Structure 1
Amino acid sequence: MEMDLSITEIMIRLLIAMVMGGAIGIEREYRNRPAGIRTHILVCMGATIIALIQTEIASSSLRYAIENPSLAGVVRSDEARLIAQVVSGVGFLGAGTIIVTNRSITGLTTAASIWAGAGLGLAIGMGYYDIALASFVGIMLALTVVKKIIKVHAIKKLEIRFVHREETKEFIMNYFESKKIEVENVDFNVDFRNDYRIYTNVYTIDLPKGLSYTEVIEDLSMYKNITKLRLINV
């Protein structure tokens, strides 16, 4: 970490933060996520600014101690103090991108990218360019490549709302059996409306290879007694 930063070095660090934070934001905005390019640029640059301030505080403390040897044992400068506040404080911003609706949660990846962008900004601001570059590459790979390379066969929940209980349940179970879909668990619910009942079953299912949840929803939606279908991430 360098002391006595020049204005040129400060501008270079802020520019790097803008470029790297913007690149992460572009990926998030391309996927139509809650926080896009401007948010990620501001978070990364903000963290860089805090790190630059902390660097200047440490530099000033060191100069003061050198100029006043008798007070060298009294002067203290904790270089992690402001940085620690960034790490904890940016969590509140990330939490704002997390959306919870019924049994579904979205925005976790964007929240994590904001938090990682703040860490990237801290590395840039402190002048640790090797860490910043390696971290930037890792973040971009995690957001763009990992999901394409690593395929996780996840168990999900399928919410099915329907009428005519016996007839429809038989159709659903026969469909699952014909497609070799394994039912892990079932949650039941019933609503009473005027002279009829509406049933809602939430099936925790595990699909066989070669079958997608989109295909299952399309097949089941063709049945007349089913009024609503919704996929829920576990």
Structure 2
Amino acid sequence: MLPFPVLMEVVIRMLVAVAIGCIIGIDRDLHGKPTGMKTLGLVSLGACLATMSAMGFSVAAPSANADVSRVVQGIVTGIGFLGAGVIIQNPDQNRVRGLTTAASIWVTAAVGIVCGLGLWSVALAATVILIALLTIGRLIEKSLHRQWLQKPPAEREARSLPDED
């Protein structure tokens, strides 16, 4: 059984990880993407738990620990498979969908790892940067997409064909 102060720190780390995952997931939910608040909250919580487990639920400052390093490596690899499940290729339309969702799953796991390590300033900064990127990036992409669609069909077709050697 963990001492009460340690247990409280562990619970706070898990709650922050879930909250950050949910914040990222709300953005995905608002845009009708396949992963949302619950999924990314769970991803972040799982990454946080695995990281804290590797640390033996120590609340001391993180140090260079081979066990933690291996767990982090395993999380990153495993989450890659989860993210790959949301990527869909449609060769008929020459489109790939789900890359941003897959990337958001991966980054959410990384933020969960940071929460598991108790590095609050890094977790907060990463969350702010991630939400800003998703928000501002979406606006820029929509603007670029509108410009692309205003081009004549022949020009769009010529630019979208793969180069032949």
The alignment's TM-score, normalised by the length of structure 1, stands at: 0.56
CA displacement 1:46-104 (0-9 Å, x = unmatched)? 00001111111778xxxxxxxxxxxxxxxx85330111110111000000111112222
Q: How far, CA to CA, are the matches of 2:81 and 2:147 in structure 1? A: 30
1:100 matched residue in structure 2: 89
Q: 1:94 to 1:204 in 2, by over 3 A?
A: same
Q: How far, CA to CA, are the matches of 2:123 and 2:89 in structure 1? A: 32
How far 1:114 moved relative to its partner?
0.2
Whichever of the two has the greater Rg, that structure is 1
2:24 matched residue in structure 1: 24
Counterpart amino acid of residue 118 in structure 2: G
1:129 aligns with 2:84: no
Structure 1 gaps of 5+ residues are 60-75, 159-178, 186-202, 207-234
1:183 matched residue in structure 2: 154
Q: How far, CA to CA, are the matches of 1:78 and 1:152 in structure 2? A: 45
Q: How far, CA to CA, are the matches of 2:130 and 2:78 in structure 1? A: 20
Q: 1:81 to 1:37 in 2, by over 3 A?
A: same
Q: How far, CA to CA, are the matches of 2:153 and 2:159 in structure 1? A: 6
Question: Could you say which structure has the higher helix fraction?
Answer: 2
Q: Identify the match of residue 204 of structure 1 among 133, 158, 163.
A: 158
Percent sequence identity over aligned pairs: 36
Q: How far, CA to CA, are the matches of 1:143 and 1:112 in structure 2? A: 11
Counterpart amino acid of residue 181 in structure 1: P
Poorly superposed stretches of 4+, deviation over 6 Å: 153-156
1:115 matched residue in structure 2: 106
Q: How far, CA to CA, are the matches of 2:58 and 2:70 in structure 1? A: 11
Q: How far, CA to CA, are the matches of 2:151 and 2:14 in structure 1? A: 56
Q: 1:57 to 1:30 in 2, by over 3 A?
A: closer
Counterpart amino acid of residue 81 in structure 1: R
1:62 matched residue in structure 2: none
CA RMSD of aligned residues (A): 3.1
CA displacement 1:119-163 (0-9 Å, x = unmatched)? 00000001111111100101111111233257446996x9xxxxx
1:15 matched residue in structure 2: 15
- SS for the counterpart of 2:89 is strand
Aligned 1:1-234 pairs, distance under 5 A:
6-56=6-56, 77-102=66-91, 103-149=94-140, 151-152=143-144, 181=152, 183-184=154-155, 203-204=157-158
Q: How far, CA to CA, are the matches of 1:34 and 1:114 in structure 2? A: 11
